[in-house]
């Protein structure tokens, strides 16, 4: 909320410039910057510069802007809708400002706010949608920062969606004014048409919009299976962030940090569905049924899973349930824990001449006598990333050694990869069983095994086997981390 006494001294408006002349006086960098900005519109640029720098000349050549290659005179401004004084020469810029005012043309003088009739905004351009950010000349850096933030929030296909919307304006007028029409537009911008445009499927978007017009059925729901990444908030993808902000309901696993769940709309419903080892708050069948039910209610749901949703995330079962129920869904990839752990260790998962394949596996299929299929790969040099491997560390090590992998093979372990409280351990396959006994590791743990691990940076890691003085060891480690 603005403070009661905070009034804008510059009021934003959008000016029609299609086919109109915009005059820019100047031949250097400032003139080029303005030319580039105004060049995002369909105005006809008129650049008045007796001499122009090479870059400006090539801009003129590339865009077909009009170049008046003569010493400036007031007549050059005639017929322009707006004028920029961007010569960099104070006396000349003042003259341009005076001439423009005499001709009643609004004028902007670069870097001289006191001479400006208007300010140019930092611009987020999703034509025909534009977001202009102004700070009344107080903070161009601030404006650029805001621009970046807003730009990331908005789908790259927003312009295409707005164009499609414009083509439905007339037809939508036939809907009853008020709720009916509002609902159509809400479902248009947030529902199936928007999703189809996002996917680059314009014909389908058109059909979906027609369907919305003719059908009385409530908008169909949509489930996004979204990877939340390994834990650090800023390892979330921009797409995941955008979907989170649009979701009506967020269904999340226990491993997804609160800070990420909190990124959704304030009024979004948040449903934790648990699944920490040993305390499943909902069975997978119950989760599948919940997603189907929410989809049937027409909700836009983000199903947040840690890491990547397609890696040990049971997304397969959820997708099958949604497919069977005819509910639309999409998958948004995330940074999987193995990648985050490798990054924390500066560990090359593939290493030229050492390891050219990568196995994502879990320790939990080791029951029984048969050797897991990936053991052969490990022996032939693959790097192995073990998910959910802590409680079966001894089993994993034992079976791999039994299968012929050297007990000296390097092993890296990361608890809470990507997070501020992460801990790193290094050792060999022979040390790995000690992991099971550690009571001091409460977070999720990733184990990476293979010769490529030897290429990691062990500077900030603790030896895996030396955990006899657990309390001191963990205190020191935390000291290092923070
Ligand atoms: N879909 C997730 C994996 C879910 S299985 C992904 O792609 O990462 C859960 C296992 O992932 C944990 O037992 C642990 O082995 C691993 N894991 C998840 N987050 C982790 C983190 N921040 N640090 C280390 N391991 C992690």
DSSP readout, 114-178?
GG-SS-PPEEEEETTEEEEE--TTS-HHHHHHHHHHHHHHS-TTHHHHHHHHHHHHHHHTTSPTT
Pick the CATH number of 21-120 from 3.40.50.720, 3.30.465.10, 3.50.50.60, 3.40.50.300: 3.40.50.720
pLDDT of 3: 60
Nearest atom, ligand 1, residue 338 CA: 8
pLDDT confidence band for 32 (50 / 70 / 90) = very high
Worst-scoring range by mean pLDDT, 10-19, 70-79, 457-466, 468-477?
A: 468-477
pLDDT > 70? residue 4 = no
pLDDT of 366: 66
How far, in Å, is the centroid of ligand 1 from the Cα of 363? Answer: 13
| Of 321, 118, 117, 328, residue with least CA distance to 219 | 328
pLDDT of 275: 60
> Which stretch, 40-54, 203-217, 457-471, has highest mean pLDDT?
40-54
Kindly state if the Cβ of 447 falls inside 6 Å of ligand 1.
Answer: no
How far, in Å, is the centroid of ligand 1 from the Cα of 301? Answer: 22
Please state, in angstroms and rounded to a whole number, the distance separating the CA atoms of residues 393 and 328: 39
Q: What is the value of pTM for the model shown?
A: 0.77
pLDDT of 291: 97
pLDDT of 186: 87
Question: pLDDT tens for residues 92-145?
Answer: 999 999 999 999 999 999 999 999 999 999 999 999 999 999 998 677 899 999
At 219, list the tokens.
Answer: 């908008």
| Of 124, 191, 136, 137, residue with least CA distance to 161 | 191
Count CA atoms closer than 13 A to 283's CA, side-chain side.
3
Q: Which DSSP category does 218 fall into?
A: P
- Boundaries of every domain in the chain: 21-120, 158-214, 222-335, 338-473
Please state, in angstroms and rounded to a whole number, the distance separating the CA atoms of residues 87 and 64: 21
pLDDT of 475: 37
pLDDT confidence band for 25 (50 / 70 / 90) = very high
At 70, list the tokens.
Answer: 């003569």
Please state, in angstroms and rounded to a whole number, the distance separating the CA atoms of residues 444 and 344: 14
Coil, helix or strand at residue 9 = coil
Confirm if 105 and 17 have CB atoms less than 8 A apart: no
Confirm if 133 and 150 have CB atoms less than 8 A apart: yes
Please state, in angstroms and rounded to a whole number, the distance separating the CA atoms of residues 477 and 470: 10
| Of 405, 406, 424, 428, residue with least CA distance to 415 | 424
Average pLDDT over residues 17-29: 97
Please state, in angstroms and rounded to a whole number, the distance separating the CA atoms of residues 50 and 255: 64
Confirm if 42 and 15 have CB atoms less than 8 A apart: no
Kindly state if the Cβ of 345 falls inside 6 Å of ligand 1.
Answer: no
In what helix (H) or strand (E) does residue 82 lie, and over which residues does it extend?
A: strand 80-85
Please state, in angstroms and rounded to a whole number, the distance separating the CA atoms of residues 253 and 232: 15
Confirm if 75 and 96 have CB atoms less than 8 A apart: no
At 411, list the tokens.
Answer: 């092993």
Worst-scoring range by mean pLDDT, 149-153, 179-183, 250-254, 350-354?
A: 179-183
DSSP bridge partners of 305: 227
Nearest atom, ligand 1, residue 309 CA: 1
Please state, in angstroms and rounded to a whole number, the distance separating the CA atoms of residues 241 and 236: 7
How far, in Å, is the centroid of ligand 1 from the Cα of 209? Answer: 40
Tell me what the pLDDT averaged over the chain comes to.
90
Q: Which of 253, 308, 431, 451 is catalytic?
A: 253
Kindly state if the Cβ of 306 falls inside 6 Å of ligand 1.
Answer: yes
At 256, list the tokens.
Answer: 């997804």
Question: pLDDT tens for residues 154-170?
Answer: 999 999 999 999 999 99
Please state, in angstroms and rounded to a whole number, the distance separating the CA atoms of residues 243 and 226: 9
pLDDT of 136: 85
Worst-scoring range by mean pLDDT, 42-56, 177-191, 219-233, 415-429?
A: 177-191
Beta strand spans in 299-417 (E): 300-305, 328-332, 358-362, 383-387, 410-415
CA distances from 366 to 271, 278, 336, 444 (A): 33, 19, 22, 19
pLDDT of 31: 98
Cβ-proximal residues to 432 (8 Å cutoff; 6+ apart), any chain: 393, 394, 396, 397, 411, 447, 449, 464
Catalytic-residue membership of 253: yes
Fold of 222-335: Cobalt-precorrin-4 Transmethylase; domain 1 (3.40.1010)
pLDDT of 476: 35
Kindly state if the Cβ of 414 falls inside 6 Å of ligand 1.
Answer: yes
Please state, in angstroms and rounded to a whole number, the distance separating the CA atoms of residues 473 and 465: 11
pLDDT of 1: 54
Please state, in angstroms and rounded to a whole number, the distance separating the CA atoms of residues 309 and 291: 15
Kindly state if the Cβ of 335 falls inside 6 Å of ligand 1.
Answer: no
Burial class (CB in 10 A: 0-12, 13-18, 19+), 369: exposed
Beta strand spans in 155-268 (E): 222-227, 249-252
pLDDT of 470: 44
Nearest atom, ligand 1, residue 418 CA: 22
How far, in Å, is the centroid of ligand 1 from the Cα of 254? Answer: 11
Q: Does 3.30.950.10 match the CATH number of domain 338-473? A: yes
Q: For ligand 1, atom 13, name the residue with the nearest CA.
A: 388
Nearest atom, ligand 1, residue 310 CA: 1
8/138: higher pLDDT = 8
Please state, in angstroms and rounded to a whole number, the distance separating the CA atoms of residues 339 and 243: 23
């Amino acid at each position: 909320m603005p403070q009661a006494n905070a009034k804008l001294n510059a009021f934003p408006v959008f000016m029609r410039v299609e086919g109109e002349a915009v005059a820019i006086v100047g031949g250097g960098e400032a003139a080029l910057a303005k030319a580039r900005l105004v060049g995002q519109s369909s105005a006809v640029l008129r650049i008045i510069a007796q001499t122009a720098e090479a870059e400006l000349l090539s801009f003129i050549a590339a865009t077909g802007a009009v170049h008046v290659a003569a010493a400036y005179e007031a007549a050059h401004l005639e017929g322009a809708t707006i004028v920029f004084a961007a010569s960099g020469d104070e006396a000349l810029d003042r003259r341009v400002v005076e001439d423009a005012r005499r001709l009643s043309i609004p004028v902007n003088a670069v870097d001289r706010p006191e001479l400006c009739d208007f300010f140019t905004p930092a611009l987020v351009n999703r034509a025909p949608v534009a977001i202009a950010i102004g700070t009344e000349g107080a903070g161009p850096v601030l404006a650029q920062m805001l621009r970046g933030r807003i730009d990331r929030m908005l789908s790259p296909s927003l312009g295409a969606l707005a164009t499609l919307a414009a083509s439905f304006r007339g037809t939508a007028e036939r809907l009853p004014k008020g709720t009916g029409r509002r609902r159509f537009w809400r479902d248009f911008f947030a529902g199936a048409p928007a999703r189809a445009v996002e996917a680059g499927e314009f014909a389908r978007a058109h059909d979906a919009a027609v369907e919305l017009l003719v059908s009385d059925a409530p908008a169909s729901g949509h489930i996004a299976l979204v990877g939340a990444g390994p834990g650090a908030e800023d390892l979330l993808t921009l797409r995941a962030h955008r979907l989170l902000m649009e979701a009506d309901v967020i269904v999340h696993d226990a491993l997804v940090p609160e800070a990420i769940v909190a990124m959704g709309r304030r009024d979004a419903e948040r449903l934790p569905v648990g699944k920490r080892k040993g305390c499943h708050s909902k069975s997978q069948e119950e989760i599948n049924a919940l997603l189907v039910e929410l989809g049937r209610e027409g909700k836009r749901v983000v199903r947040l899973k840690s890491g990547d949703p397609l890696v040990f995330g049971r997304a397969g079962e959820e997708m099958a349930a949604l497919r069977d129920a005819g509910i639309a869904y999409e998958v948004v990839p995330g940074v999987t824990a193995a990648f985050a752990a490798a990054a924390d260790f500066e560990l090359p998962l593939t290493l030229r001449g050492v390891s050219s394949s990568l196995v994502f596996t879990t320790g939990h299929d080791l029951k029984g006598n048969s050797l897991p299929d990936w053991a052969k790969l490990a022996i032939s040099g693959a790097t192995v990333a073990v998910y959910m491997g802590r409680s079966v560390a001894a089993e994993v090590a034992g079976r791999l050694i039994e299968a012929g992998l050297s007990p000296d093979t390097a092993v890296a372990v990361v608890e809470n990869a990507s997070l501020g409280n992460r801990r790193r351990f290094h050792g060999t396959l022979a040390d790995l069983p000690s992991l099971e006994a550690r009571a001091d590791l409460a977070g999720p743990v990733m184990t990476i095994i293979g010769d490529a691990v030897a290429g990691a940076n062990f500077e900030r890691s603790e030896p895996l086997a030396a955990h006899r003085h657990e309390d001191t060891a963990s205190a020191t480690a935390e000291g290092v981390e923070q």
